[in-house]
Amino acid sequence: MRSILLRSELSYTPQKMIFLIFLFFLSTSANLVYDVCKQTRNSSLCTKTLEASANSSSADAKGLGRIMIQSARTRAAHNLVYVRQLMNQNSTNQCIQVCYEDFRLIVTAFIPNALQSLSSDSIFDAAVSILLSADQVSNCQEAATCVKSSSQLNNRCKEYADFAQLVADVLRVV
């Protein structure tokens, strides 16, 4: 009788198996995020960014790189909108137009190129595209010195450049 009780306690129903598999993948993906992010210059921001994406729980290392590139695109797009608003307030300011073109180029060329390179397993090229996008905002930072709201625009440029460096760190690990 005791052996029957032990067998019934140890039997795995399909629901229990699915739950155990889910827990395994959940802990594996959490470990992967931690393992990748601990090798970057800002592991806290890396982890926060990846954990904010629902796709990170099932992503491999390359998938985490894709999430980071997409996050860089989102940041650059937000900056593009911000600069566009500045242009609407002061349409004759050439400095703002330089920043607009920089962020437009990042959103329309550098980031898509990085995503394409990652998709074709050219990790080095993806990292180069991201690093070039970080370098591109230096034009805007230089131009921001002649913009009335230069401190906020300059901060946005610096934040994007720092984040792009973080993305390159993640790609280095992939």
pTM surpassing 0.95? Answer: no
**Rg, the chain, Cα only:** 22
Q: How many CA atoms lie within 13 A of 34 on its CB side?
A: 6
Sign of CA dihedral 109, 113, 116, 118: negative
pLDDT reported for residue 31: 86
Cα–Cα distance, 24 to 75 (Å, whole number): 32
CB atoms within 10 A of CB 165: 15
Cα(61)–Cα(86) distance, integer angstroms: 38
Amino acid identity for residue 161 in this structure: A
pLDDT at 22: 47
Name the packing angle between helices 150-173 and 61-89 (round to 10°).
170
Contacts of 71 (CB under 8 A, 6+ apart): 49, 53, 163, 167
Q: How far apart are alpha carbons 146 and 110 in whole angstroms?
A: 26
What's the rounded Cα separation, in Å, for the pair 20 and 3? 24
| Per-residue pLDDT, 148 | 60
Q: Which residues of the chain have pLDDT under 70?
A: 1-30, 144-150
User: 121: alpha, beta or left, given left = phi > 0 and alpha = psi -120 to 50?
Assistant: left
The answer to whether the beta carbons of residues 29 and 56 sit under 8 Å apart is: yes
> Residue 30 has what pLDDT?
59
